[in-house]
Chains A and B, each alone.
Chain A
Amino acid sequence: MDAKERIITAQKSTTDYIKEIWDYKELFWILAKRDLLVKYKQTILGIGWSVIRPLITMIVMAFAFGKIGKLDTNTAIPFTLVVAPGVIVWLFFSQSLMALSQSIVLNSNLVTKVYFPRLIIPLSTIFLGLVDVLISIILFFIICIYYQFIPDWKIILVPVFIVMTFLSTFGIGLISAVLNVKFRDIGQLIPFVIQFGYFVSPVGYLTASVKATGNPWFYKLFVLNPVTGCIDALRWCMLGDFAKFNWESFIPVIVFLVVTFFISIKFFRKHENSFVDHI
């Protein structure tokens, strides 16, 4: 047992903070495991839902935008494959943002009764989303086999862009988690944002189509959406030479990611010790 002295005060150094999170890694795993177990308790399909959700979404997207919206006429590869990266990013982003914003409030029974670094809660929450991403990517490969499509070398960059998506979601999710402790308005706002977010991100269509509308202002705003950057990047690396790399949406997402990540951690640390006073 450690006999070292622990100091409880209003300030804590960053190295101690990181070290402490590391010390609580077991709790991280067990909370992630809990969320995973609980998510599919009393369901017949169980983890099968993690396959069905992206699969059905891809099919519906491909049908709605491809067949009805007639966007599939000038693409060289099956439209289901074109929407796949969009669906993967969007499902991860929307579900993680929703779960993150509620994470502290939903775990209030822990927050008010025991001490542990509070960052463990959002970390274990978003981990669950990564499991779903992994399943969706496996699903993507199965669809590739079905359509006999072979991605090129760029496919190895998928983890890099998943991390990018992860970090940009985490930053904004963390800020909403903190705000939601005090202002439950966030809990109302996020489902609403997610509802129309589908249409302002290139999930079922391509960023190129937005550029093709000819309205430069609309396009400039569109690429500022961090989800756009993530989808564009993933589409570039997953679909062979189908899409070109889009710097115009990639740079905003990197800026967004770096800024929100540091601000969110700082913001979280500033407020985590007073959660219990507001929850």
Chain B
Amino acid sequence: MTVLNIENVSKKYQLHQKGNSNDDLRDTLTRWSKNILKPSSKKSKTEEFWALKDINLEVKQGDRLGLVGANGAGKSTLLKVLSQITEPTTGIVRVKGRMASLLEVGTGFHPELTGRENIFLNGAILGMHKSEILKHFEAIVEFAGISKFIDTPVKRYSSGMYVRLGFAIAAHLEPEILVVDEVLAVGDADFQKKSIGKMRDVSNSGRTLIFVSHNLTAVQGLCDKGAYLRGGELIKYGKIDEVVNEYVKTVSKFQLKQNWATPEEGPGNEQVRIKSISLLSNETIVRDNFDTRTPLKMTFEYWNLMDSAELNVSLFLYSMTGECVFNIGDDAKIYKKGIVSSECLIPGDFLNDGSYYISVMIVKDRLAPVYFFEDALAFDIIDYREGTDWYGKWPGAIRPKMISINSVQKELL
């Protein structure tokens, strides 16, 4: 059954010529008066910007649709149209069933009101009836873990408590279609786990989920269908893995190479300057993307501007969420003024699928950081698996094959 039908939806924004988005009263009045005085004169030119161009999508009951695309691709605009926050300029959206949008956690919380009062306020804003809120009240307080502070104004809450309460309310909504935007971007790891778990519950119970996130791993783990938007247009719609692949391939937001021609241009300081850094697949077969099997080779070069210094390089690999997966360094050596080149091999079948970024630090005398080159590289590793019928998100920061489990049949009963 189709629960959501988006037909030829477009959304136009007016950009003012001056580049002044806040049109003031004077401008409007002068425009009016000009038009009255000279009716034949052309209307003042405003530039049009199409945030969405002719989007057609059909979402079936139980679908878990992930919207992917770069910033400004129109994902949030589409969610806003679906949530009825802004109306489409043209086109029609047909929705069957109750839809709830979670564009942020704790929408409409009033700082002066107590936790209890805010539960009712936020619940009503999200479209819950009083009886529903009452039914879930205890569970909400329990889930948020704030029972002691339920009668304290939320302005005295810690930010963690605030977010937990907001999410707890949203988690007890029972819509047929749930629209979620980047809620995962806030909160600590525990909270993210909780919220992903809650969304998985929603989708497992046969309800429809529409999810927007820049975290491709989360999108792939949660959704079965994907829609890739670029410049307001729908580029691809289909199975999530294909859509994500397409997205990763076409969008070069991944920084796989940086280089500078002269020491003056390169980032750094009087002691060292970065020359180049790159990440390549270290195998003969060329694939479009890195997947979990691909061995990687990182090459790093810098200018040492000191006459003679004992230096070593330290590499940090971070996951998307900012956790450091590993940090390794080489042995310190004395280098003369000139270019120093380093190479690092990351074996295949080692990292888990997900987004990663690399920072490099140059260290002097084995203790003093000379320069920290942050976010030097960014890349994605795509899931690849065989020998399993399970396609859930593979947990863990790494997925090493070098650690293996051996099982044998020992005794027959």
Contact = CB atoms under 8 A, between A and B. Distances in A.
Interface of A: 1-10, 26-27, 30-31, 34, 37-38, 41-42, 107, 109-116, 182-183, 185, 273-274, 276-277
A1 B177 CA distance: 12
10 contacts: A8-B94, A8-B95, A30-B124, A31-B121, A37-B117, A109-B108, A115-B84, A274-B87, A276-B86, A277-B13
A114 B103 contact: yes
A41 B25 contact: no
Contacts of A274: 86-87
A34 B118 CA distance: 9
Contacts of A42: 112
Given A27-B125, A30-B124, A114-B103, A5 B108 contact: no
Interface string B77-120: 00011111111111111111111010110011010110001001
* 4 residue pairs, one from A and one from B, having the closest CB atoms: A115-B84, A8-B93, A273-B87, A183-B25
Interface residues of B, number: 45
B125 A182 contact: no
A22 to B, nearest CB: 14
Contacts of A7: 92-95
Nearest to A23: B127
B305 to A, nearest CB: 50
A3 B86 CA distance: 23
A109 B86 CA distance: 14
A9 B91 contact: yes
A30 B110 CA distance: 12
A21 to B, nearest CB: 14
Contacts of B270: none
Contacts of A3: 96-97
Nearest to A111: B85
B353 interface: no
B73 to A, nearest CB: 18
B264 interface: no
Contacts of A115: 83-85, 101
A9 B88 contact: yes
B289 to A, nearest CB: 35
Nearest to A117: B84
A27 B123 CA distance: 9
A276 B103 CA distance: 14
Interface of B: 13, 23-25, 28, 80-99, 101, 103-104, 107-108, 110, 112-113, 117, 120-121, 124-127, 129-130, 153, 174, 176
A113 B107 contact: yes
Contacts of B28: 183
Contact of A9 (B85, B92, B153): B92
A251 B110 CA distance: 43
By CB atoms of chain A within 10 A, which of B95, B97, B112, B124 has the most? B124
Given A2-B98, A9-B91, 10 more contacts: A1-B97, A8-B93, A8-B94, A31-B121, A34-B121, A38-B110, A42-B112, A109-B107, A113-B85, A114-B108
A34 B90 CA distance: 36
A7 to B, nearest CB: 6
Given A110-B107, A110-B125, A113-B107, A6 B94 contact: yes
A42 B130 CA distance: 27
Contact of B87 (A2, A10, A37, A113): A10
Contacts of A182: 23
B126 A114 contact: yes
Contact of B117 (A8, A34, A112, A116): A34
B235 to A, nearest CB: 23
Contacts of A30: 120-121, 124-125
Contacts of B124: 26-27, 30-31
B25 A185 contact: yes
A9 B13 CA distance: 16
A185 B24 contact: yes
Nearest to B92: A9
A26 B129 contact: yes
Given A41-B112, A114-B103, A8 B125 contact: no
B83 A114 contact: yes
A27 B122 CA distance: 10
A113 B104 contact: yes
A3 B120 CA distance: 25
